Each structure stands twice: as C-alpha cells, then as structure tokens.
Structure 1
Amino acid sequence: MKNITKWFLFMTLWMATACDSLLNIDPEFTQDAENFFNTKEDFDRAIIGVYDMMQPAYLNIWIGEIASDNSIAGGESVNDTRGLHEIENMTHGGVNQELRAVMRVNYTGISRANYIFENQDKIDFEGKDLILAEAKFMRAYFYFNLVTYFGDMPLVVDRRISINEIPSTPRAPRAEIYAQIESDLQEAVDVLPATASEVGRLTSGAAMALLGKALLYQQKFAEASTVLGNLIDSNPGGYALFDDYTTLFYAANQNISEDVFTVQFSGLQGGDYGCLICLNGNAAVGFQGIRQYTGPFYADGNAYNLPTQDLYDAFAEGDIRRDASVLNLDEFIAAQPNADEITYGIGAGGHTGFFNNKYIKRQGEVGLPDDDLTSPLNYRVIRWADVLLMAAEAFQQAGNDDRARIELNKVRARVDMPAITSSGDALYQAILEERRFELSGEGYRFFDLVRTGQAADRIDGFVVGKNELFPIPQVEIDLAGGNWSQNPGY
C-alpha cells in the first residue's frame, strides 16, 4: 500500500505462491501469538499484512477479461502462461496455475484476517475497532472472490485451522459464504470512517459498495437497490465521476473522487517473475504493454490480455470510451509524425492489433527495474461509475425503471452519449451493454455475463452447467485428502 509501511507478516496455512505446496512449515523467525499482538503497533503491522494480499489484482483483471469475449490471452506463445490460454479457450481444468493462485491468494488473506480475530482480545487500545472493521471488510472481499470463482468453498471464520483439520473441513454452500460476506460488510459499514485517514485505507462507502455488489450477484435486487441507493443518496465519501474519461486511468489521476475501493500499488519496490504475487507494483500493466515497442507515449511490455475486434466494434460511434479503453495500435502509429520509425513485435500467443489502454505501460508511469513488474497504477476494484451502473441494474430488476434510467444516464452524460429512454427488458439490456462500454478492460466482463445468464451466447466454447464456475485446483483437492468434490463438468 502507498503511504503505509509494507510488512510481510508471516507464512500462513494457505501459501500464496503458485510454486509452493499448499502446506508449509513456518520459518524459524516467524512471530506467533505468544510474542505478538501485544501492542497497538503489532495490530497495525498485522492489518497491513492483510491489505498486502489484495495486491495480486492482476489475476482478476486477466481472468475476468480473457475468459470473456473482451480479450484473448496473447503473450509470447501458447505455452507462455498456458493457463490463461486454456481459460481463453474454455479448456481449463483442475491443473491451472492461475486458478490455483486465485485460491491460494484469497485464502492467505482470509487466514491473515482470521489470525487477527484469534487474538483480538489480548489487549485493548484506541482504534482497535477500526482495525477489526478493516479485517472484516477484506475477509469479505477475499470470500467474495472465492465464491465468485469457485462456488462452494471451505468457510473458516475468526480462526486458522490446523493441517490436520483440512480434510474434515467441507466446502460450505454459497449461501452460507454470502451470509458471512454480508455480515462482515455490514459490520464494517457501521465502523469504518466516511473518508480515509490515510491513502489506501478502507471506508464505509467502499464497504457499502461491495455489499451492494454481493447482493446484486445473488440477485437480491431489492436489497441491492436499497444499499446502493443509500450510498448514492448519502454519498459519504463525496464521490463523483471524473470529468475526463480519456485520462481517467493515467497515474496522475489516481485516488480521486471516482475511486470508491482501490488497491494501491507502488513503483518503488521491485520483484521477480518467480513470484508475481509478491510484487508491490501492478503486474498487469507491464504484462499488457506493447511487445518490443519503440515509439512515443507508450512503453514496451509483454502483450497479454489483448482486446478483441468484437469489443472494439461494440462501441457506438462517437463514444470516447472506445479509444480510452482499447488502443488500436496501428491507427495510433499511423497518426504519429514519425510513424515509419515506430516498431513493435507480435507474440505467437495471439495478436489482435488492440491493447488494454487502461492498464498499459506508458512512458512516465513506470517504476524501478524491472519496470514490467513495478507499475504504480492502482487497481480500481470499484469506482463510482460502477456503483451507478450496479444501482441502475438493481433498481430496474426491482421494478423501478425511473431510478434506473437516472443512474444509467449519469454515466452516459459523462461521456456525452445520449440519454436512454427505454423501459423494461430493453432498459435492462442497455444497462448491461453500458457496463461493457464503461468497464471493459477492468476484469468484470466474464462475471457479468455469467451472473446475467448471457455467457453461453457470448463466449465461444462456454458449456452451460460447467463454465459458470472455475474448477477447484486438483492439487488442493488432493491435499484435502480427496474430500472436496470437484465442480461439475471438470
């Protein structure tokens, strides 16, 4: 996190790296509850350790786009990050490094949060309630990711479990996990401040937004409309749409009024390719840069997560979000005065001619070497436009078309697009289309298609009854003694 001292707290039951085994022995220098959680500073360091596990956000950006009709995997070859190519082609199974990393990262975050709750009664101090509220928020966020990707998952609350307990810890039904998510977020709403005391800290508005999203994903439309409507009407954080969409995703325009829930990154500390989830920079940015590029404005990268022609063509004429979201590289080069001097490479993993123009490496926005791995571009998990569109969807599905149009047209007005006047299903479809135009490249598309029942019509190779969920990593099933069932179809 920016402005908060980074500290890698301790190794946990679920390790976050794709190369390590699920169960690891803690190193000798690890602090434990016997000599930790004895001061306020210990709790401060512990909560930063939980924040740290939100930083592998590149996984959500990649998978949420590549699994959909918005992007292909790209890269050096089909063997370069093979798991992403399998996800693109809907041929992924229980052996997939990217999906395994999703599970392990989120359970590591949960375990770190639960460790705080195990020791919450050791001491009292001013501000402990805020730390516990932050831990509840992040635990809810990690469980939301897990239930969205995998469905039923083991539910562990307020404690860590021993190695011996794993085989006897069943996958809990999604309804139980969502109930825990809702409980954690409601408690966080009641305690977290309206505005953060430090850049990157969580707020009550962020908790309300994530709660509304969790309700929307469960199709609890009336409840979601109430929560999101209250957030919009009360606007505790002074949220607003940023005026210039074309520069919204520039580093200069971070931590602004549009940012509701953001994962912070820094370009000041490096890492290596052996542990992408260990980075303090946003790995998605360098990986999504232009391969072997020499030219103005942009910087070279690895050409992952390449937008499709279908996405580019979907935007209406005159919608400035098309070029702000999707870089048409050849068109950009042709418009430069030195076009003949600009070069780039094409990887064997696929090429569309388009690049993710939101999370892309630009000159002047790179971190320390290796600058592929140290981008300072934050990941906007939820921004105000998303809140407005989620509210529009919830209101429409709850029977309030008038309010739905109001929230939808706020988003369209920002980019000078004409107001939508339709009602009923036509309005609902317009809202879903608007989510694609407004949020493309940000990691939401696959999950939007799945939860609205449109995935089979939009994604080649999508199998109904199977691909709504991703498979449980087989190695984790094995480590659980085979007592976790695999998701249907895998």
Structure 2
Amino acid sequence: MKNIYLLFLGSLLLNISCSTDLDEVPPNIASSDSLTDFEGVLNAAYYYQLGAVTPMAIMGDFRADNALMLESPYTEFDEYDPGLTAMEDQFFGPFYTALYRSILSANNVIENSEDPTQIGEAKFLRGLSYFKLVQAFGDVTVILTSPDIGDIPTFDLTRKPMTEVYNNVIVPDLQAAISALGVTNVNGRASKLAAQSLLGKVYVHMGNFASAEPHLAAAVNGAAAGGISLQANYADIFVTDLNSEIIFANQVSSSVEDEYGFSDFWSWFLGNDTKSPKPLDSRLISAFDASPGDLRRAINMDDVALNSPKYPQVGGPEHDWIEIRLADVILLYAETLNENGVPATTVLPLLDAIRERAGLDKLDPNTINTQALVRQAIYNERRLELAFEGHRWFDLVRTGTVETEMGETVNSNYYFFPIPISEILASDGVITQNPGY
C-alpha cells in the first residue's frame, strides 16, 4: 500500500500548494490571502479542471467522426482496439489526475468551509469531475473525504459501478449545488443555472428523461433571469469570454500555467500539432453538405485546409473551454421533451432560434412528425451546433448510435477509455483496467 500512500499524498500536497501559490489568476478563479476561509482551496478545485480540458476535447471529437489522427500511434483514437493505452501519458493520465485533484480540493472545502456558497461551488465541481470521469472510464474510484495523511493507506480505491456514482455522488452533489448557489453567473463561477443545466445533462446521459425534464426546463426558462441568452452571431460565442451564451466555462489564461504540458485543444483542432495537421473528418464535411447555407460551416471547418478555425489562435491561450452553453441545454431540453412523448409541434420550435442564427429555415412539424424523425433532427442539430466542443463521442455513446454513425462494428468495451496504467500500478492492482484493454 506504499504506492497508494504516495499517490494520494502527492495529490494532497499539490492541492495545498496550488491553492496559495497562484500569482495571477483567470477571472473565474478568486484569489485568497489565507486558507482559513478555504477560498484558496476552492481556487485549487477550479484550477485543476484546466488539466482535463484538452484530453476531454480530444476524446470527444477525435474518437468520433469529427476529427482524425494522422500519425501513429495517435491513430489509435480512430481504431477500436487495445492500442489506445499508448495514449496514457498525453491524455488519460493528465485527465484522471487533474480531476481527482479537483475532487480532493472540493472535498476539503465541503468538509471544512462554513460558507454555503463555497460549499455549493465545491459540490458543483465535484459533481462535474465525477461526471467527466464516468463518461470517460465508466466505473471509477470514489473519494468523498479529505483524508489525513495517516488515513490514506486505508482508503477503498476499488472502482464503484457507474450507476452508483451517478446516483450516490453526482446527482446529490448537483442537487445540493442548486440549493446553495445563486442564479447569476458571477465572474464565471458556478451558479444555480449551471448546476440545473448540468444535472439535466447528467440525467440525459443516464437515460432518465423524466428526471431530466424539470431541471432542463428550469435552466432554459430561467436563463434570462441569470443574464443568459443566445448570442446573435454564432462566431461570437468562441471569441468573447464569458459572453451571454456561456453558462459555465473553464477559464484559460496565458498568465496561469496549468499542469497539462502538451498541445492544447485550439492547436489540435486547427491542425497545428504535427500528429494531425489536417484533422477534419470527411464525415463532418458531409454532414454540413446536407445543411446547405449553414452559417456554422465556415466557423467550424475549413474544408480546403481540412481543419477547424473555430478557436482563436492569435494572442496566446486566452480562449475559455465552454463546458455548458445555452444552445446545448436547449437541444437537450428538446430531446428530453421528445423522449417524454411531447408532440413535434411543441418540441421543434425550441430549435428555431438556433437554426435561424445559423441561417436555416425552421423545421416543419408537419413533415418531421414522428418521435423518431424529431429525434434524428435533434441529433443532427447537436452535431453541427456543437462540433469541436468535446460532445460528439459521448453523444454517440449515450444515444446508442456509435456503429451507425461510425459506419463500422465497434465492440462496446471501447466506448470507454483505458484507465491509466500508472494508477493501476500505483494501487497495487486495486484499481482495475477496463475490459478490452
């Protein structure tokens, strides 16, 4: 158990140091002069989310039919076999470590702070972290306390079933965050609206549309009161930080160096990483070909250079990674209503503002008039609206459309990503690998 001790001791020490040593911080991270009010520890929980951003983006788009890897062994992202373990050092290891460090910082705040807002934000971040972990890995280790050093060797590191993590950790944390937080997004920090939106999304990923509906309805209907609205121009969403459409984002700043030491998401999508200089997948080109006149096309892709110019490249890494924005929530709400049997005449108008912004006509409920047709229309809209925002692969998995959309047989073992081998070894095998790897 010595390795377990060292693993978690290292994470704890890093949590403490990064909560006090940030000289400059992005706007959504509050600075702190002292740990006594736990603002600095909460700061660390936000900070560690940055290390998960690029791995999540790569998993969401390069594993799916939006982007391609061109250099071995990175091509394993486009292959569904055990070889994906070769990507541990650059993607799965940093992702796993960053989220557990965020969780340990959040645990510290939840256990020790007397400030209800701090606790609410920490629960939101812990719920978000575990949601990302189960999306990527399925069953995961659950740690809900901030351990004393002497307690670390006794911790249960066995992976808990995904459904248990959803029901016993993620959902309760987000419910608590909803109760504790205000509606307004203050300097990019977690808000009630963000927690409502995320809980609705979580229920959708669980396939529980009945439970998802009230939370997504509250988020969509309460957006205006929280200062949230669709941007008039689609392109502006991705060039202006904390704009009106963003419900929650991880703030990225060149003045704060995160621990992810490789090429960042904006470089990957534009093809500036030599592993994939022309990342655009021809299947995304075909999807936009089927939507003539779509103004989102030029923002999402350059089908001559075969890349995506969606994110700014000039001026350093100043662009935020959007976790939740209003269009995503509206589309999830429309999907939820459709799955709950609401007629097309009610569901399809929810898409009107999104489509009109894209220069497209409204969808006709007299033509798209069955649950299956409405479902496919929403899936199509999500693909085009949210391209290169890290959603696509996880949408395919949750909707059961991996094989249909990828055009090949895919063993369901490879719907999840490999647990980092370093974590398995450090736990003396207590943490186990996913099947197939």
Structure 1 pair 32–222 and aligned structure 2 pair: CA distance change class (3 A): closer
User: In the aligned structure 1, how far is the partner of 2:374 from the partner of 2:5?
Assistant: 44
User: In the aligned structure 1, how far is the partner of 2:15 from the partner of 2:284?
Assistant: 50
What does 1:369-408 correspond to in 2, within 5 Å? 375-401=317-343, 402-408=345-351
Structure 1 pair 237–384 and aligned structure 2 pair: CA distance change class (3 A): same
Structure index of larger Rg: 1
Structure 1 pair 14–146 and aligned structure 2 pair: CA distance change class (3 A): farther
Structure 1 pair 26–237 and aligned structure 2 pair: CA distance change class (3 A): closer
Identity %: 28
2:94 is aligned to 101
Q: 61, 66, 72: which one pairs with 2:68?
A: 72
Q: 149, 159, 163: which one pairs with 1:171?
A: 159
1:480 is aligned to 427
Q: 83, 87, 90: which one pairs with 2:77?
A: 87
Q: 226, 232, 235: which one pairs with 1:243?
A: 232
- Are 2:265 and 1:284 aligned? yes
2:57 is aligned to 61
Deviations 1:92-129 (A, max 9, x none): 44452212222111111111111223333xxx4xxx11
User: In the aligned structure 2, how far is the partner of 1:131 from the partner of 1:25?
Assistant: 21
2:106 is aligned to 113
> AA paired with 1:394?
T
1:417 is aligned to 360
> AA paired with 1:231?
A
User: In the aligned structure 1, how far is the partner of 2:170 from the partner of 2:143?
Assistant: 12
Q: Figure out how many residues of one structure are paired with residues of the other and give that number.
A: 407
User: In the aligned structure 2, how far is the partner of 1:25 from the partner of 1:441?
Assistant: 31
Deviations 1:340-390 (A, max 9, x none): xxxxxxxxxxxxx311222251xxx322xxxxxxx1011111111001000
1:160 is aligned to 147
Q: Secondary structure at the match of 1:471?
A: coil
1:222 CA drift (Å): 1.3
- Are 2:122 and 1:135 aligned? yes
- Are 2:281 and 1:308 aligned? yes
1:209 is aligned to 197
User: In the aligned structure 2, how far is the partner of 1:38 from the partner of 1:366?
Assistant: 30
> AA paired with 1:447?
F
**Retained in 2: the 8 A contact 1:217–1:451?**
yes
What does 1:330-369 correspond to in 2, within 5 Å? 330=304, 353-361=305-313, 365-367=314-316
Segments of structure 1 that go 5 or more residues without pairing to the other structure are: 1-12, 16-20, 292-299, 331-352, 368-374
- Are 2:89 and 1:146 aligned? no
**Retained in 1: the 8 A contact 2:58–2:265?**
yes
User: In the aligned structure 1, how far is the partner of 2:192 from the partner of 2:255?
Assistant: 29
User: In the aligned structure 2, how far is the partner of 1:25 from the partner of 1:169?
Assistant: 14
**Retained in 1: the 8 A contact 2:15–2:101?**
no
1:14 CA drift (Å): 9.9
User: In the aligned structure 2, how far is the partner of 1:305 from the partner of 1:204?
Assistant: 40
Structure 1 pair 479–290 and aligned structure 2 pair: CA distance change class (3 A): closer
1:228 CA drift (Å): 0.4
Higher helix fraction: Structure 1 or Structure 2? 2
Structure 1 pair 49–429 and aligned structure 2 pair: CA distance change class (3 A): same
**Retained in 2: the 8 A contact 1:289–1:302?**
no
> AA paired with 2:235?
T
**Retained in 2: the 8 A contact 1:265–1:378?**
yes
**Retained in 2: the 8 A contact 1:245–1:415?**
yes
**Retained in 2: the 8 A contact 1:289–1:360?**
no
1:458 CA drift (Å): 2.2
> AA paired with 1:284?
F
CA RMSD of aligned residues (A): 3.0
- Are 2:218 and 1:230 aligned? yes
Q: Secondary structure at the match of 2:50?
A: coil
User: In the aligned structure 2, how far is the partner of 1:150 from the partner of 1:186?
Assistant: 23
Structure 1 pair 212–29 and aligned structure 2 pair: CA distance change class (3 A): closer
Deviations 1:187-206 (A, max 9, x none): 11111111133x22111111
User: In the aligned structure 2, how far is the partner of 1:156 from the partner of 1:146?
Assistant: 13
1:135 CA drift (Å): 0.3
Deviations 1:289-313 (A, max 9, x none): 454xxxxxxxx99856822121012
1:443 is aligned to 390
> AA paired with 2:103?
I
What TM-score do the two structures reach when normalised by structure 2?
0.85
**Retained in 1: the 8 A contact 2:15–2:104?**
no
User: In the aligned structure 2, how far is the partner of 1:382 from the partner of 1:71?
Assistant: 21
1:181 is aligned to 170
**Retained in 1: the 8 A contact 2:271–2:279?**
no
User: In the aligned structure 1, how far is the partner of 2:41 from the partner of 2:198?
Assistant: 23
**Retained in 2: the 8 A contact 1:22–1:479?**
no
**Retained in 1: the 8 A contact 2:200–2:213?**
yes
Structure 1 pair 456–31 and aligned structure 2 pair: CA distance change class (3 A): closer
User: In the aligned structure 2, how far is the partner of 1:446 from the partner of 1:61?
Assistant: 10
**Retained in 2: the 8 A contact 1:89–1:461?**
no
User: In the aligned structure 2, how far is the partner of 1:23 from the partner of 1:460?
Assistant: 45
Question: Higher mean Cα deviation, 88-97 or 142-151?
Answer: 88-97
**Retained in 1: the 8 A contact 2:296–2:385?**
yes
> AA paired with 2:231?
F
Structure 1 pair 478–460 and aligned structure 2 pair: CA distance change class (3 A): farther
Deviations 1:184-239 (A, max 9, x none): 11111111111133x22111111111001000000111111111012212224132
Structure 1 pair 426–49 and aligned structure 2 pair: CA distance change class (3 A): same
1:404 CA drift (Å): 2.1
**Retained in 1: the 8 A contact 2:331–2:378?**
yes
What TM-score do the two structures reach when normalised by structure 1?
0.76
Segments of structure 2 that go 5 or more residues without pairing to the other structure are: 20-31
Q: Secondary structure at the match of 1:53?
A: helix
Q: Secondary structure at the match of 1:432?
A: helix
